Amino acid sequence: DCFREPEHQRRLQSVGHPKMLRILLVLGLAAFCVAKTPVSHCCSAEDRHIVQKQWHTLFDYMEHSSKLKIQFGEILLLKLAEAKPEVKEAFKRVNIDHPESGEFASHSVRILDALDMVINLLDHPEALNEALEHLAHQHHGRAGVKKEHFKLLGEQLINEELPRVLDEYDLMSWKACMHGILSGIAADVPA
């Protein structure tokens, strides 16, 4: 929404206030939009397409090799568990204590595929919301799962993992879109 300003600007200009004031107002609005709201609602159409395109290069590559897919998912979860040991409890059921097990491997892939699902639905807001609500419901009531875990997982993914494996990477677009995705999934868990 932050980038859908032209109409608004035009209307401001037609009102006929001193030019300087108008420019200041527009600049102020823009600065407010960038600084105050942490880009959460600014997953614009262009952002979505950038994220989808960049994600596809990685995901398609991983689809060629299930081993890579497993390992990428495992790295995400194991790093999270390293930073927040309490999440190990939540992943006990999928055998996180034995990362080489089939249970943990398939669970890691399930998480990556859920991410793939929502990224592919970014252009279809109603279906995306349904998918996010379902994921939120699946995480609801899981002992020890908190919002901060999703935040950390997202930060690790966006700031560390993805830039390491993607040649083309737009941090701002990823930030803008992942914020909505992760807060959607974490909607029903405590802070």
Q: C-beta of 152: minimal distance to another protein in Å?
A: 24
Q: From the list 33, 75, 114, 166, which residue makes contact with another protein (rule: CB under 8 A)?
A: 114
Q: Which is nearer to another protein, 9 or 120 (CB)?
A: 120
Give the length of the chain: 191
Q: How far apart are CA 127 and CA 104, in angstroms?
A: 28
Position 123 contacts another protein (CB under 8 A): yes
The 10 Å Cβ neighbour count of residue 15 is 7
Q: Which is nearer to another protein, 126 or 167 (CB)?
A: 126
Contact 179, 39 (CB under 8 A): yes
Region from 7-15, 30-38, 79-87, 105-113 binding another protein, contact rule CB under 8 A: 105-113
Q: How far apart are CA 42 and CA 2, in angstroms?
A: 6
Position 126 contacts another protein (CB under 8 A): yes
Q: How far apart are CA 167 and CA 169, in angstroms?
A: 6
What x/- string results for residues 51 through 80 when contact with another protein is judged by CB under 8 A? -x---x---x--xx-xx-xx----------
Q: Which is nearer to another protein, 26 or 68 (CB)?
A: 68
Could you say which residues in the range 134-153 bind another protein, by CB under 8 A?
134
CA torsion through residues 153, 157, 158, 159, sign: positive
State how far the alpha carbon of 59 is from the alpha carbons of 3, 20, 63, in Å: 29, 49, 6
Q: How far apart are CA 170 and CA 65, in angstroms?
A: 25
What's the one-letter identity of residue 137? H
Position 103 contacts another protein (CB under 8 A): yes
Q: Supply 5's token pair.
A: 């300003």
Region from 20-28, 75-83, 110-118, 150-158 binding another protein, contact rule CB under 8 A: 110-118
Q: Binding residues for another protein, per CB under 8 A?
A: 52, 56, 60, 63-64, 66-67, 69-70, 101-103, 105-107, 109-110, 113-114, 116-117, 120-121, 123-124, 126-127, 129-131, 134
